[in-house]
Structure 1
Amino acid sequence: MDDRLTIRIALGKHEHVAALKDGRVRSPRLTLEFVEFDPLPGAFRHMVRGGDLDVSEMALTTHLLAHDFGKPITALPIPLWRRLHHSNLVCLAASGLRGPKDLEGRRVGVRAFSQTTGVWIRGILATQYGVDLDSITWVTMEDAHVAEYVDPPGCERAPAGSRLRDLLHAGDLVAIMGERDVDPAAVRPVIPDAEAAAKAWSAETGIFPVNHVVSVRNDLLDRYPWIADELAKMFEEARALCPQTGVAALPYGLAPNAAAMDLLFDFAHRQRLTPKRYTLREIFPLSEQVAAGSMS
Structure 2
Amino acid sequence: MSTPLRVASYTYEHTEALFDGRVPIEGAEAVFETAPLVSDIFRRTVEGRYDVAEYGLTYFLRTFDLDESPFLALPVFPNRNFRHSSVFVNTAAGIEKPQDLAGRTIGEFAMFGHDPGVWIKGIFSDEFGLTPDRSRWVVGGTDHPVPAFDWVPQPVPDGIDVRHAADGATLGAMLESGEIDALISVDVPQALLGGSKRIARLFPDYERVERDYYRRTGIFPAMHVVAVPRKLAERDDLMAAVYRAFHQAKEMAQQKYRDGARKQHMGVVTPWFSRHFEENRALLGEDWWPYGLAANRTMLDTFLRYHYEQGLSKHLLTSEDIIVPALLDT
Q: Which of 144, 163, 166 pairs up with 2:173?
A: 166
Residue type of the partner of 2:308?
Answer: H
Alpha-carbon offset, residue 107 of structure 1: 0.6
1:56-205 → structure 2 map (5 Å cutoff): 56-69=53-66, 70-111=68-109, 112-141=111-140, 142-143=147-148, 147-152=152-157, 153-181=160-188, 183=190, 184-185=192-193, 186=196, 187-191=199-203, 193-205=205-217
Aligned-partner SS, 2:227: strand
Q: Which of 308, 312, 318 pairs up with 1:279?
A: 318
Q: Which of 249, 262, 275 pairs up with 2:301?
A: 262
Q: CA 1:202 to 1:28, structure 2 compared with 1: closer, same or farther past 3 Å?
A: closer
Residues 52-109 of structure 1 show CA distances to partners (whole Å, capped at 9, x for unaligned) of: 1111101111111112223311111111111110011011345421211111111101
Equivalent-residue separation in structure 1 for 2:134 and 2:88 (angstroms): 18
Alpha-carbon offset, residue 192 of structure 1: 5.2
Aligned-partner SS, 2:73: strand
Equivalent-residue separation in structure 2 for 1:199 and 1:165 (angstroms): 27
Residue type of the partner of 1:140?
Answer: V
Residues 172-209 of structure 1 show CA distances to partners (whole Å, capped at 9, x for unaligned) of: 11111122456543232113532211111111111111
Aligned-partner SS, 1:210: coil
2:143 maps to none
Equivalent-residue separation in structure 2 for 1:64 and 1:27 (angstroms): 26
2:49 maps to 52
Give the TM-score, by structure 1 length.
Answer: 0.89
Of stretches 77-86 and 246-255 in structure 1, the one that deviates more from structure 2 is: 246-255
Q: CA 1:32 to 1:161, structure 2 compared with 1: closer, same or farther past 3 Å?
A: farther
Q: CA 1:204 to 1:28, structure 2 compared with 1: closer, same or farther past 3 Å?
A: closer
Equivalent-residue separation in structure 1 for 2:149 and 2:313 (angstroms): 13
Residues 27-75 of structure 1 show CA distances to partners (whole Å, capped at 9, x for unaligned) of: 3411221222221111112212x33111110111111111222331111
Give the TM-score, by structure 2 length.
Answer: 0.80
1:220 aligns with 2:227: no
Equivalent-residue separation in structure 2 for 1:26 and 1:285 (angstroms): 20
Residue type of the partner of 1:100?
Answer: P
Structure 2: gaps (5+ residues): 141-146, 258-279
Alpha-carbon offset, residue 18 of structure 1: 0.5
Residue type of the partner of 2:182?
Answer: A
Give the root-mean-square deviation of aligned CA atoms. 2.1
Residue type of the partner of 1:151?
Answer: V
Alpha-carbon offset, residue 236 of structure 1: 1.5
2:11·2:34 contact (CA, 8 Å) conserved in 1?
Answer: no
Equivalent-residue separation in structure 2 for 1:38 and 1:273 (angstroms): 27
2:93·2:178 contact (CA, 8 Å) conserved in 1?
Answer: no
Q: CA 1:145 to 1:256, structure 2 compared with 1: closer, same or farther past 3 Å?
A: farther
Equivalent-residue separation in structure 1 for 2:8 and 2:37 (angstroms): 11
